[in-house]
Amino acid sequence: MLRPFRTLHIVPSLPERLGPLYEIAHNVWWSWNRDAVDLFRRLDADLFDATRHNPVETLGRVPQERLDDLVDDEGFISHMDRVYAEMQDYMEGAPSLTGPESQDVIAYFSMEYGLTEAMPIYSGGLGVLSGDHLKTASDMRMPLVGIGMLYQEGYFRQYLNADGWQQETYPTNDFHNMPIQLERDEVGQPLTISVSYPGREVHAQIWCVQVGRVPLYMLDANIESNQPEDRQLTSKLYSGDRDMRIRQEILLGIGGMRALEALGIEPTVCHMNEGHSAFLGLERIRRAMQRHGLSFDEALVLTSAGTVFTTHTSVPAGIDLFAPHLIDRYLSDWMHTLGIDRERFLALGRPPNAPAEEPFSMAVLALSLSSRSNGVSELHGQVAREMWQGLWPGTPANEVPIGSITNGIHHRTWVSLDMDNLLLRYLGPRWQSNPSDTELWKRAERIPDEELWHAHERRRERLVSMARREMVNQLTRRGASQSQVAQAWDFLDPKALTIGFARRFATYKRALLLFHDLERLTRILNQADRPVQILFAGKAHPEDIPAKELIRSLIHAVRREDLRHRIVFLEDYDMALARYLVQGVDVWLNTPRHGQEASGTSGMKACMNGAIHLSTLDGWWHEAYSPEIGWRIGQGETYADDAYGDEVEAHLLYDLLEKDVVPLFYDRGNNTVPHGWVAMIKRSMASVGPRFNNQRMLQEYSDLLYVPSVKRYLRLAAEGGQAARELSQWLQRVREGWSQIHLANVESSAQDGATVRDEIEFTAHLALGPLSAEDVMVQVCLGTMGPTGQIMSYDTIAMEHQGQTEDGLVRYGVRGRFGRSGLSGYTVRVLPSHSDLATAHLPGLVLWA
């Protein structure tokens, strides 16, 4: 080992005529443009595969003689010019989004980004969603920038030992051979920022990944000016203890905001994708206090108006929690900087009236520092509202201010070339630029059954071929005998019904549900005239021992002679393997326990490629399912006894396979095409395609979160934050006076036997104490009674201010009707009211009759 006297970056010596290759390679746009991918594959297909489809590394390793020869290759030059012209047209294209103005930048923070397998800095669904978010923002020309971390070792590579136990390796990422570039200052030095930790400053340099039109800025702490322990901050994704995690999240949030400032970017709205980046709110507050002379409460009012939060967590165990002593160690200086005491600071990350040792929650902090938040499916929105109801005492769960925007996928990344060609032919080219157009997708019915089926068969054959190669490699690595390795070439059947199950291995996802009755499963898979096969893939977190046990149990189960040719586990699940799977399987299987999967997107990808979804009614499938487009396992039941629930749903799954799935697949006409199956494919594509794509998702983020947040933030920030000051003072006055409000009496003209047509008068008399009628809204809630004595389903009607009574009470009244017959009830409530509030549901400020 030699220590260098000096380091320098050597780049390929591209002939001048090949200069566009370098520019194309350094914009990840190539990853969702097949013509661009084919261009780099044309350089050297084997090398492109060996580099995990990395065009920058491919360019660096192609022999110079090959590059020189390409200058005279007219076919290659024509191909390159075509791709380069298409990229330039794309970069200059018009927006297809109704959203924020170009000067109102949205800063999107995420702990991980799955853009391409050439950049292994993602672990799974959250990262792939983040990558798809940026790609679609680029397609729609949204004024958005990404902020993340650049991990030297990224997420682990997976392999299994001879016993089936997951092993991890952490190859070092060579940033200089990836499609990223260092940001530099005016004298050419790497642009850096610093963040304070106890007794030291930690520095990070900034790299940029150009994702089409969207820049993604990534922080790298592995630089010589940092101490060895701090250089590890950007070593691995989701690794290390709580001390390492809090230091990483301080760097992401606070350091990310400082990176934007160093780059001259002033975001109007910051979007926290999960709670990992929630510390960014502290830096925004500090900056607002310094810039506008605001108090902490005033700055919080202002900055929260321009901050939105997306939660992806359905269970408390998925939330980052830090013990109070870690907050004291790393953030005590922030308490002084922000001018608040320890109790107030800890309250930002804890529920009301928390005990002294209650951990500090990053999700609670994110909710405290933002004014708009959402779950990632309709069902997850309900789960999140119930999960966080305690933060809004007295507010019914269905009115907790957490909305939902269902995830989608970046269709051009995930739809196969075969399917893309079919859709271009029968839907037209607008399907690529406007995948949310429902009318376009109805044209899927026009695709001839034979053409659609044969295209799908080709993709299944490619999947089986890839799986066989991978099994040979896997068995060779494990030290299997030559005869075992040779048998792998006969694994799977390119004509058989193929089921895919690929996702992060976690116990709630129940990867082994299919194995509940091994004999019954074996019979299903091994019918001579109707064979079925299953491909599994997925990683367990290195510290998740129960999940690793699941993988080992699966490997042991499939060693049976009657299963080993029908079930395979493909190691090291990544985006490249995911494309093969979602593009080639016939059925996508998903088996989470109800309410525990926030959304999921792999099934969306499979459906758009012509697979049919088979899943429990969780995540996105809860709102997508209909019997014409796929199958459901159960009806969304929850079970107090998990083992009993697993048994019930395993048998439901077997029934579906035996009675519905397998017979439909093998019901062939005279031309060997399963017309009933193909009809379901078409209905599935026509239903899933326009609803579960990222263009629809981004438009909803724009309409529901970004644009309202931009308008409210700019309104509160005008004139040095004057409106924020006034709103903060109003909030303080309302909070101080709220306890003095009481409802003196509530009356109505309602009588037993009233009909749904009868108009009923409701009145309420309030004592408002130090508050005025303009400070509150009064509502009557009326609806049907449930068996527990609660109003279960209700309508809300605003009551009108009708002046004061002689004894100083304020009178409110309204006339309304009960919308349904049956045992009914009503009540009255008081909420705060101000034109600048994002929601009337403020923690602790609700008074019920």
243-247 contacts at long range (C-beta below 8 A, 24 or more positions apart): 243/326, 245/320, 245/322, 246/322, 246/326, 246/327, 246/330, 247/197, 247/202, 247/330
Q: How far is CA 674 from CA 279, 313, 607, 670, in A?
A: 55, 40, 17, 9
141: number of CA atoms within 13 Å, CB side? Answer: 14
The predicted pLDDT at position 1 comes to 60
The predicted pLDDT at position 428 comes to 94
Among the listed residues 317, 322, 313, the one whose alpha carbon sits nearest the alpha carbon of residue 359:
322
DSSP string computed for 258-312:
HHHHHTT---SEEEEESGGGTTHHHHHHHHHHHHH---HHHHHHHHHHTEEEE--
Among the listed residues 630, 613, 618, the one whose alpha carbon sits nearest the alpha carbon of residue 593:
618
DSSP state of 93: P
Give the list of residues 6+ apart from residue 132 with CB closer than 8 angstroms, or none: 114, 408, 409, 410, 413, 601, 694
Q: Which parts of the chain have pLDDT scores under 50?
A: none
Degrees to nearest 5, angle at CA 317 with 574 and 844: 125
List, in sequence order, every beta strand (DSSP E) within 401-519: 403-404, 497-502
The predicted pLDDT at position 4 comes to 67
The answer to whether 783 and 792 are in contact (CB under 8 A) is yes
Host H or E run for residue 714: helix 707-737
Q: How far is CA 730 from CA 74, 270, 777, in A?
A: 71, 25, 15
- 625-658 core/surface letters (b: 16 or more CB in 10 A; e: else): beeebbbbbbeeeeeeeeeebbebbbebbbebbe
Give the list of residues 6+ apart from residue 22 with CB closer than 8 angstroms, or none: 11, 12, 14, 59
Host H or E run for residue 593: none
The answer to whether 206 and 258 are in contact (CB under 8 A) is no
Give the list of residues 6+ apart from residue 369 with CB closer than 8 angstroms, or none: 278, 281, 282, 284, 285, 300, 303, 304, 307, 309, 348
Using a 10 angstrom Cβ sphere, with 0-12 exposed, 13-18 middle and 19 or more buried, the burial of residue 729 is middle
The predicted pLDDT at position 475 comes to 92
The predicted pLDDT at position 208 comes to 98
Query: pTM, whole model, 2 decimals?
Result: 0.95
The predicted pLDDT at position 10 comes to 63
The predicted pLDDT at position 759 comes to 87
DSSP string computed for 719-753:
HHHHHHHHHHHHHHHHHHHGGG-EEEEEEE---TT
Task: Report the distance separating Cα 276 and Cα 79, nearest Å.
Answer: 43
> Dihedral (C-alpha) 606, 609, 613, 618: value to the nearest 10 degrees?
50
| C-alpha of 635 from chain center | 25
The answer to whether 826 and 750 are in contact (CB under 8 A) is yes
Give the list of residues 6+ apart from residue 153 with CB closer than 8 angstroms, or none: 170, 171, 172, 173, 235, 236
For residue 32, how many other CB atoms are within 10 A of its CB? 23
Residue in this structure with the two tokens 């899933």, named with its chain if needed = 688
- 86-123 core/surface letters (b: 16 or more CB in 10 A; e: else): ebeebeeeeeebebbeeebbbbbbbbbbbbbbbbbbbb
What end-to-end distance do the CA atoms of the chain give, in Å? 77
Give the list of residues 6+ apart from residue 807 with CB closer than 8 angstroms, or none: none
39: number of CA atoms within 13 Å, CB side? Answer: 27
Among the listed residues 216, 681, 664, the one whose alpha carbon sits nearest the alpha carbon of residue 444:
681
Task: Report the distance separating Cα 383 and Cα 397, nearest Å.
Answer: 9
Among the listed residues 27, 28, 55, the one whose alpha carbon sits nearest the alpha carbon of residue 41:
55
Q: How far is CA 585 from CA 55, 450, 835, in A?
A: 28, 18, 53
The predicted pLDDT at position 789 comes to 83
